[in-house]
Structure 1
Amino acid sequence: MKRYDALYRLYDEFDAKTLRAYQDFVDLFPPVDSRVALEHWQSASEELDQRKDEIRAAFDAGETYATIAAHATRDQSFTALDLYSKYGRGVNALVLDVDETLRSAGGTDNEIPRETLHLLTDFHENGMPIVVCTGQTLENVKGFAIQGLGNEIVHSGNLSIVYEAGTGVFTPGHGAETKRLLYEELDDEIRTIFDTVRSQVLSAAPDELRRCTHLQGNEFNVTMKPNFETGSSRAVEIIDDALVYLLDLLGRTVVEGGEKDDAKSGNRNGSDWARAYYADSDPEIRGVLEEQGETPENDISSVPEDVQETFDRIDVAYYEGDAAEIGSRELNKVVGVKGALDVLGIDDPFTLVMGDSKSDLRVMQWVDETDSGIAAAPEHSSRDVLDHVVRTDELVYDQGKAGDVLRTVYAMNRLANLG
């Protein structure tokens, strides 16, 4: 209870809100060539130090409590202490999705807020490994990482990128381990299916899909993206159509190319089996098929066992108004994160996982099942993600406010350092 008493005293006796305002001003002050502005920054910096000195003098662990008060609100600090009391350790790696997690088209103009970038830089400077875990291509995420975090952090040897939702891991500065192509470990059957689908996905598509979609430049996954603004009504329509088309193409490829027992039954069976299988496994996919009037003629019991076994190894993902995608279930963000942590040399991880989608949920469930971390999600996440986060530690944050959770973990780690 001593820690709780200390936090009550910290926020009752000191003006932590004003202290944080000074800290934020000093940290986020933009580079300007103005003597007046620089004098203002210097004055704020001196006031910040003076206020911190008052806290330093009032507590045995004064430096820790001054730092906590300058970075975290009362609620964030008490949440941090609750988390430390529950788990008995601090976070030793950050696992972060990007789109709609760190940045949001609706809340941050699709840019990572300066506050969030500064907090990530602060974590890095304190030795925290960062794993960027995304469905984007490597080139896309490298570009944003260098632009946002800086070339020095990206190439520090303490940052890893899990790209295409786990098909590869890129960790600059680690020699032969810098780039791991995890999809090369798949067997010939699965790789052949993906090669076939990729070669036909646009050339065999209906005219409207060819005009209105494009392929994301993946190394392995096959991802159809709309040629319209993400989330717009037109994008939703096109991606719904693309999902149905991908299911049919995948089903035909598995049955014909894989020489399954029922290949002689023809194209229609393969398509129907794919629709039946994935509608049974994913309510969102079933919902799209129902709305499109494309529900399967048969249920999953009609799908031959050998075809089901192949479908068991292939994931079909639907992101409303954003993408329809096929990937390998043997390659996902969990596999990628494990690979990244291995390269980074983290043998006993306790991570903060931040994400919003079903692919992120798998990582959250893995850290929960293995006592390897905690999970946080924005309020607009998928229902299953929110259910998991609320059930575990309730780390749900407002759109564009990833910094709130990072501040909580910052305080948690400071408290953990007290032992």
Structure 2
Amino acid sequence: MTLYDRLYELYTEFDTETLRAYREFVDLFPPLDSRVALDSWDDANADLEERRERIERAFGGDEGDALAEVAAMADRESAFTALDLHGKYGRAPNALVLDVDETLRSAGDTDNEIPRETLHLLTEFAERGVPLVICTGQTLENVKGFLIQGLGNELVHSGDVSVVYEAGAGVFTPGSGADTKRLLYDDLDDDVRGVVDRVRDGVLHEAPERVRRGCHLQGNEFNVTLKPNYETGSDDAEAVIDEAMVHLLDLVGGAAGERLDLADGPAAARAYYAAADPEIAGAIERAGASADADVPDAAATLFDRLEVALYRADAAELAAAELHKAAGVEASLDVLGVDDPFVCMMGDSKSDLRVMEWAEETGSGVSAAPEHSSQNVLDHVRATDDLVFAPGAAADVLRTMYAWCALAELNGTN
């Protein structure tokens, strides 16, 4: 009997839906200081174990254990998707790479917190020995807080959790000795590092009054990010971020001009980045500035190594092109000791797309994305394995990945 046949029998002959309901209740609602709640939990746990044991007896041995675990974690569609992925790749993910904002948690209809179900699933992967790489544009301090709160101090400091922060500026892997913190920006040459340092020095005190009063500097270690003091997405936020973008470009151009002896570095920077990004061009136009200038070859070469990004009505940011999430993920996996990576990358933005493309190009994993992702991200995910999930429903893909890991162990390939 093939593994496909055994899965078919599992989901045809057993009430796996009720089994999963008991598993979810037991996992997410532990005993409370109430006799009634405790009795309910004990009853559900006993019923869960009885249902698992029926499956284990029916299939026997390690196979029964594995299939019971798959049934308790994944529905029929997820389990067969996992089996199809295993047939395609011949191995299951040995690390998870996870964006946070708009991926593990979604703004909008949710409360913008990572759901308890998702957090619990991450602990389940850790118990299976699958390392977690949190890959985010957020500052390290922000990430530390919600990781410890959501996953627990013991897991975060186990040596199996790593954080790629500021979209690749650094890697933090608690419990890894001298490798606990890698400052990837320390490896940049003086031209790139010097421009970023110069911009950071002047980004607020040299800003126009409206930008100085209407923006604040995000607490990054390396990247320079201006955020609005107004409500994100509002007209006031859009106006001040547009002006902040022009100011940021002028600082970049001025710093580059000092190094390259340019006659008008700010004008060159506006022209270069406007030509490269229509969104930046729009911000320059809305701010009433000009982007019409020649860009000398030397300036273009340096600007190409400096990434300027506009998040409309949300942020204006400067980073180094060499520091990106894919480079951070490779460094993170190195610290974690994942020598032959095959990851599941979950993300929604163009910075996540670089990791997805790296995984595909190097045969190092699969990708998943929420349905509200950037179009180029969705195009990539749909063209590969079509692992697209609803906003706030990252757990759906995590359950598929978990079933995949269990089936791979059963098949002796993980």
Q: Is 1:314 aligned to 2:333, yes or no? A: no
Deviation track 1:9-37 (CA, whole Å, cap 9, x = no partner) reads: 22222221111111100000145201111
Q: Is 1:76 aligned to 2:71, yes or no? A: no
Counterparts in 2 of 1:283 and 1:366: CA distance versus 1, 3 Å: farther
Q: Say which of 264, 270, 277 aligns to 2:272.
A: 277
Alignment of 1:124-273 (within 5 A): 124-255=126-257, 257-260=258-261, 263=262, 265-266=263-264, 270-273=265-268
Alignment check: 8 A CA contact 1:377 1:385 kept: yes
Q: Structure 2: how far apart are the matches of 1:390 and 1:289?
A: 34
Counterparts in 2 of 1:295 and 1:6: CA distance versus 1, 3 Å: farther
Alignment of 1:327-406 (within 5 A): 327-406=319-398
Counterparts in 2 of 1:173 and 1:75: CA distance versus 1, 3 Å: same
Q: Structure 1: how far apart are the matches of 2:100 and 2:348?
A: 9
Deviation track 1:64-120 (CA, whole Å, cap 9, x = no partner) reads: 111111111111111111111111101101111111111123243121100001000
Alignment check: 8 A CA contact 1:104 1:399 kept: yes
- Which residue pairs with 2:9 in the alignment? 9
Q: Structure 2: how far apart are the matches of 1:396 and 1:314?
A: 32
Q: Structure 1: how far apart are the matches of 2:237 and 2:44?
A: 48
- Which residue pairs with 1:42 in the alignment? 42
Alignment check: 8 A CA contact 1:224 1:323 kept: yes
Q: Say which of 80, 86, 90 aligns to 1:88.
A: 90
Secondary structure at the aligned position of 2:69 is classed as: helix
Q: CA RMSD in A?
A: 1.7
Alignment of 1:49-128 (within 5 A): 49-60=49-60, 61-128=63-130
Q: TM-score, normalised by structure 2?
A: 0.94
Alignment check: 8 A CA contact 2:31 2:37 kept: no
Q: Structure 1: how far apart are the matches of 2:96 and 2:247?
A: 37
Q: Structure 1: how far apart are the matches of 2:378 and 2:279?
A: 16
Task: Report sequence identity in percent.
Answer: 62
Cα displacement (A) at 1:240? 2.9
Question: Amino acid of the residue matched to residue 341 of structure 2?
Answer: P
Deviation track 1:102-161 (CA, whole Å, cap 9, x = no partner) reads: 112324312110000100011111111111111111111111111111110111011111
Q: TM-score, normalised by structure 1?
A: 0.93
Q: Structure 2: how far apart are the matches of 1:389 and 1:213?
A: 35
Q: Structure 1: how far apart are the matches of 2:325 and 2:187?
A: 15
Q: Structure 2: how far apart are the matches of 1:380 and 1:133?
A: 18
Counterparts in 2 of 1:2 and 1:229: CA distance versus 1, 3 Å: farther
Deviation track 1:320-339 (CA, whole Å, cap 9, x = no partner) reads: 33321110011111111111
- Single out whichever of 210-219 and 288-297 deviates more from structure 2: 288-297
Q: Is 1:25 aligned to 2:25, yes or no? A: yes
Secondary structure at the aligned position of 2:260 is classed as: coil
Cα displacement (A) at 1:294? 4.3
Deviation track 1:318-357 (CA, whole Å, cap 9, x = no partner) reads: 2233321110011111111111111111110001111111
Q: Structure 1: how far apart are the matches of 2:7 and 2:240?
A: 53
Alignment check: 8 A CA contact 1:378 1:396 kept: yes
- Which residue pairs with 2:400 in the alignment? 408
Cα displacement (A) at 1:245? 2.5
Cα displacement (A) at 1:295? 5.6
Secondary structure at the aligned position of 1:229 is classed as: coil
| Structure 2, gaps ≥5 residues long | none
Secondary structure at the aligned position of 1:258 is classed as: helix
Alignment check: 8 A CA contact 1:286 1:295 kept: no
Cα displacement (A) at 1:283? 3.6
Count residues in correspondence: 409
